[in-house]
Amino acid sequence: MEAIVLGVDGTRASASATQWVAERCAREPSRVRVVNVISNLTADRHASLDLLESAERVLRDRVPGQAVELLRADGAVTRALTRLSAGADLLVIGVDPDHPVRAAIGGWVPVRIVAHATVPVCVVPAGWTQTDGDVAVGLADDTSSDAALDLAAREASAMKKKVHVVHAWGSPAWWWSPP
């Protein structure tokens, strides 16, 4: 049985990620660890428990009997999620692409998580709904993408979809320098 770590934070993007995991669990049995990371400075422990329990309800409403573990972690989001997902098969987080300023102020947490995670990461956009779209996966210059490519291929096969492999790189500094 596959192990999924789901990061939740109470945002619309987090709700979309939770829905994505619920749909995936309905298709393929999985163990889900729902994680909410709280800061010692702004910790509202009751709100954290409410977030975790809400995600659990969504998962179990969609898949009765769903295996769910709830975990509240303290500290930096990137460090906590990458540490707690080590050894899992998949880490799922939400992202809100409609708020780039908030994302920049937050330090581009989803980008940092993807860069530091040792497992495939599924980044679910806010407002996600189940569609007939294909599967997209990012490819790095080394072997760190192997597990993500395997996962994407399995997902596409299970849903009878195409896989789109995306690779990006930055231009060398000498390529674009003002005269």
* Of 5, 6, 4, 19, the residue nearest 126 (C-alpha): 19
67-74 and 90-95: which strand pairing?
Answer: unpaired
CATH 3.90.340.10 fits 2-128, yes or no: no
Quote the crossing angle between the two packed helices 45-62 and 12-27, to the nearest 10°: 30
Mean pLDDT of 56-72: 95
Q: Average model confidence (pLDDT) for the chain?
A: 84
What is the structure's pLDDT at 63? 95
Segment (H or E) for 2: strand 2-7
What is the structure's pLDDT at 143? 72
Question: What SS3 class is residue 46?
Answer: helix
Integer CA distances (angstroms), 68 to 3, 134, 148, in order: 10, 28, 23
With b meaning 16 or more CB within 10 Å and e meaning fewer, what string describes 25-52?
Answer: beeeebbbbbbbbbeeeeeeeeebeebb
Domain ranges, ordered by start, for the chain: 2-128, 131-170
From the CA atom positions of the chain, what is the Rg in Å? 17
Minimum mean pLDDT range among 11-20, 26-35, 44-53, 105-114: 105-114
Q: What is the pLDDT of residues 102-161, one digit of tens each?
A: 656 555 787 788 888 889 999 998 888 887 778 788 777 777 777 778 878 887 788 788
Integer CA distances (angstroms), 7 to 16, 116, 131, 144, 179, in order: 11, 15, 22, 21, 46
